[in-house]
Copies of this chain bind each other. A is one copy, B any other.
Amino acid sequence: MSTSSDSNSLSDADSNGALNEIHHVVIAVGNVSKAVEWYTKHFHCDHFRCDIEYHDETRALFVFGNTRLALVPPKQHPPHIGFIHPQAESFGELKLHRDGTRSCYVADPAGNAVEVLALIGTS
C-alpha cells in the first residue's frame, strides 16, 4: 500500500467539471447477519428506502440513494472508502473484482485505507 502517487495529474479531458464520486463505504461488524438485520430494520430496506444487493455470512452490500455501504468482518477487509477516479491506474496496478470493478488500495497520511476505482465501464 502506497501513501503517494506523483503521476495522477489530470488531462484537460479529465477536468470536465464532474465531481469524483464515493463508490462505497466499508465498515467492520463482528456479526454480519446481526448488523444486516439492524440496518434493514432502521433504514427500512424492507420498505424500499434502501436495497440489499447481496448478503451472506461474510459480507453484505446495501445500496442507498447515492452510494453503497458494505459490512464486513473486521479481519476480512479494513474499513475504507472507495472513490471513483478517472486515473485510478496512476495509484497502482488495478485488480479486477468479481463485481466487475477494477481498483487498487492506498493509504492516506493518517493510515486510513482508501480504495481507488476505475470509472465504471472502462477497461
Contacts and interface: CB of A to CB of B under 8 A. Distances in A.
Interface of A: 3-5, 8, 10, 14-15, 17-22, 25, 27-31, 34-35, 37-39, 42-44, 47-51, 63-67, 69, 79, 81, 83, 85-86, 91, 106, 108-110, 112
Given A48-B17, A83-B43, A29 B110 contact: yes
Given A10-B44, A35-B109, 17 more contacts: A10-B49, A14-B49, A15-B47, A19-B51, A19-B64, A20-B65, A22-B64, A22-B69, A27-B110, A28-B110, A29-B108, A29-B112, A38-B108, A42-B85, A43-B85, A66-B66, A79-B79
**Would you call the interface of chain A mostly helix, strand, loop, or mixed?**
loop
Contacts of A69: 22, 81
8 contacts: A14-B49, A20-B49, A27-B81, A27-B110, A37-B109, A42-B106, A43-B83, A43-B85
